[in-house]
Amino acid sequence: MMFKRTAVSAGTPAEAAGTAATKEPAAIEMGKWYLKQAMLFEKSKQDSQKRITQLALRGAVGALVVAAVSIVGSSALVLLKRPNPPAVLRVNTVNGVTDVLDVATEGHMSFTEAQDRADLRRYVEMRESYDWETIQDLFNSVKLMSAEQERDVYVKLFALPNAPQKVLKDQYRIVARVGPITFVGSTAQVFFSKKLIPLGSGQQPKTEYWVATISYRHEQIPEKRSELDVNPNGFRVTSFTVDRDWTRSTDATAAAPAAASTLSAPSVPSMAAQGSAQ
């Protein structure tokens, strides 16, 4: 049996061209979609890298800040915990006089400490000196630089029977001179000398050595001009005690009135010592 092969028609050229034209726009759209997705993926990678960079930068800045704060805190702690240098004693091998040498840590002194030293020096010299002509000015200045409780103690000294203005009068003068000043925590130790000078009697002056232990604070600066001229820093002494410095020799004795001192006469009277004898 013979089969007849039927030929398949390939279509006309116009139909083939139409089919190709239909597929070409679809391919272009597909290409655009892939390109868009690729661009979005690349943008997301860049954004992610940017966020990582920002986080790393913030972390580095934070670490630097913490390190700087740690360094500053450690430095401040070292300065605060640095011990005060001990007092240095110097002995004169000729006459046996012992001097206390003041020292500063590594040769440096803060402005606040320098102010405190100046105020302590003025306070001790005004409180422990005596002169008939200037006693009122010294009295007012010491009152202004004393806190309330210590001010009351100081005022009561001048009501004692052996108060300096009642005994020394205009016949003697006392000159106080401050030497080294050391600090033990918030308390100051002030080494000073007191020279009793007889006036018009031909007697020889006498010098004694003392140590004042002082606690103090700073209050508001005075508003009155008269007070501001005397105490511009608001310096206030809260406690003032005086002891003899037996490590230093005493000059030749002057005939000071026995009633002016609570120590064995004759002696240079101390304002703090008189208060303790009340």
pLDDT digits (tens, 9 = 90+) for 253-266: 554 554 333 333 33
Instruction: Give me the pLDDT at residue 259, please.
Output: 36
Among the ranges given (2-16, 114-128, 224-238), the one the predictor scored with the smallest mean pLDDT? 2-16
Higher pLDDT, 204 or 76: 204
pLDDT of amino acid 129: 96
For residue 173, list its beta bridge partners: 197
Burial class (CB in 10 A: 0-12, 13-18, 19+), 265: middle
Which residues are CB-contacts of 57 (< 8 A; sequence separation ≥ 6)?
Answer: none
Sign of the C-alpha dihedral computed for residues 271, 274, 276 and 278 taken in this order: negative
Place of tokens 């208060």: 275
% of the chain at pLDDT higher than 90: 38
How high is the mean pLDDT of the chain?
A: 79
Per-residue pLDDT band at 74 (split at 50, 70, 90): confident
CB atoms within 10 A of CB 237: 24
Assign 178 to helix, strand or coil.
strand
Q: Which residue has the higher pLDDT, 265 or 151?
A: 151
Q: How far apart are CA 87 and CA 90, in angstroms?
A: 10
Residue among 261, 259, 143, 146 at smallest CA distance from 208: 261
Domains of the chain: 109-276 (3.10.450.230)
pLDDT in tens, 75-101: 777 666 655 556 666 665 555 566 665
